[in-house]
């Protein structure tokens, strides 16, 4: 649910990176942050936990343009991947406009991916969202590892919504901006009254 600041003529949109622990959510955010010009971004902030960090920052992408005279500013958040932090996940999902689900491609992590996706579905439903109606992208991370599951397996096990999906190696930036741009364009389409991609 975008927040519109009429005085500043800015629409604030929230993108949440969701997925299993240590799957690459933080790496995505850090890569986007490092590649974004200083004058177009805020400082990155971290909420430390015992094991993981929740990161967030906002930025003003140049290529999206404005919507009816309003600039669009994107706020990117990660959720902690571990189940014990589920209350934090629920809080971070409040008011979201889109989700990038970052799956760990390693075969032995498939069950954790599935559990994390089910958790996302439950948490969205509890807040009145329908996962089929929100802008969402799947990112299959760690594609460079020798134990990566096949793309066909990842799609059949996870992407039963037929959402846009991308292969990635987040620590090298591969697939990072493609995922973000796709979910961002889908959010802008919704804001303009068009269909969700």
CA distance 60 to 76: 11
pLDDT of residue 70: 73
pLDDT in tens, 37-83: 666 656 666 655 555 555 554 444 545 556 667 777 788 888 876 66
Beta bridge partners of 167: 140
pLDDT in tens, 169-181: 999 999 999 999 9
Average pLDDT score, the chain: 83
pLDDT of residue 192: 79
The tokens for 173 are 């930036």
Burial of 177 from C-beta contacts in 10 A (0-12 / 13-18 / 19+): middle
109-131: average pLDDT: 95
The structure's pTM equals 0.85
CA distance 166 to 138: 6
182-188: average pLDDT: 91
pLDDT of residue 160: 92
Select the more confidently predicted residue: 52 or 96.
96
Select the more confidently predicted residue: 65 or 92.
92
Least confident piece of the model among 7-11, 29-33, 146-150, 172-176: 7-11
Distances (CA, A) of 19 to 32, 91, 99, 173, 196: 17, 15, 10, 18, 22
């Amino acid at each position: 649910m975008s927040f519109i600041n009429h005085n500043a003529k800015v629409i604030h949109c929230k993108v949440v990176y969701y997925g299993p622990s240590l799957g690459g959510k933080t790496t995505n955010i850090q890569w986007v942050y490092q590649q974004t010009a200083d004058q177009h971004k805020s400082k990155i902030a971290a909420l430390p936990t015992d094991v993981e960090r929740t990161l967030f920052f906002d930025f003003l992408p140049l290529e999206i343009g404005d919507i009816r005279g309003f600039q669009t500013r994107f706020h990117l958040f990660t959720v902690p991947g571990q189940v014990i932090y589920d209350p934090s996940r629920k809080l971070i999902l409040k008011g979201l406009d889109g989700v990038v689900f970052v799956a760990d491609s390693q075969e032995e992590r498939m069950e954790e991916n599935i559990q994390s996706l089910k958790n996302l579905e439950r948490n969205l439903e509890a807040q009145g969202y329908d996962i089929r109606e929100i802008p969402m992208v799947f990112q299959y991370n760690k594609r460079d590892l020798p134990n990566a599951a096949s793309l066909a397996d990842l799609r059949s096990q996870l992407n039963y919504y037929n959402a846009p999906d991308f292969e990635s190696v987040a620590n090298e930036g591969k697939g990072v901006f493609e995922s973000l741009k796709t979910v961002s364009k889908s959010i802008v389409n919704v804001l303009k009254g068009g269909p969700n991609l």
